[in-house]
């Protein structure tokens, strides 16, 4: 009798651990930089040598980045800056984030993931009333434009309509 209780208890604990692990694996992957620029045909030494010396070389585009708001200083980010008001409980936000991670961020753009629930002051500053809102800002954090992707929650829609 005691052995059966122990076996049943052990099965319940193992089942709970498996269920918890499977729920955790459904969470979106952590925010990472997802795009790398690789030239399929790098210039050869003759092409480089044939450029006039007084012609400035074109600066390569900076790879796009996807970072957390807490980890950035807007003034230190070069290129275009877009705040993404994201909520972990929001299925539309998670869908957009899957697209960002799968497709990568366009060059010279940094998408900054802002937690919708814990940044009320920032939401108030930009007039944000719904998650899935994207806000373009300048180096000082001034609002340039905004876009809500709630009705068409894909990164393709964000790129097509806003970026």
Per-residue confidence (pLDDT) for residue 58, from 0 to 100: 55
Residue 94 has pLDDT above 70, yes or no: yes
Q: Which of 75, 71, 84 shows the shortest CA–CA distance to 28?
A: 84
Domain around 131: 62-163
In a domain, 161, yes or no: yes
CATH number at 73 reads: 3.40.30.10
Mean pLDDT within 21-41? 42
Does a structural domain hold residue 68?
Answer: yes
- Residue 91 located in a structural domain: yes
**How many domains is the chain built from?**
1
Q: Is the pLDDT confidence value at 5 over 80?
A: no
Residue 71 has pLDDT above 90, yes or no: no
């Amino acid at each position: 009798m005691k052995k059966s209780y122990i076996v049943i208890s052990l099965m319940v604990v193992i089942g709970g651990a498996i269920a918890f692990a499977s729920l955790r694996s459904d969470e979106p992957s952590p925010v990472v930089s997802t795009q790398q620029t690789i030239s399929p045909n790098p210039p050869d030494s003759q092409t480089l040598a044939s450029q006039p010396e007084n012609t400035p070389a074109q600066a390569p585009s900076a790879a796009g980045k996807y970072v957390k708001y807490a980890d950035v200083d807007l003034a230190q980010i070069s290129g275009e800056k877009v705040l993404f008001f994201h909520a972990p409980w929001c299925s539309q936000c998670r869908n957009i984030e899957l697209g960002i991670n799968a497709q990568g961020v366009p060059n010279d753009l940094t998408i900054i993931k802002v937690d919708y629930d814990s940044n009320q002051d920032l939401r108030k500053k930009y007039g944000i009333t719904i998650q899935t809102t994207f806000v373009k800002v300048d180096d000082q954090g001034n609002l340039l434009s905004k876009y809500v992707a709630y009705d068409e929650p894909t990164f393709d829609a964000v790129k097509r309509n806003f970026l």
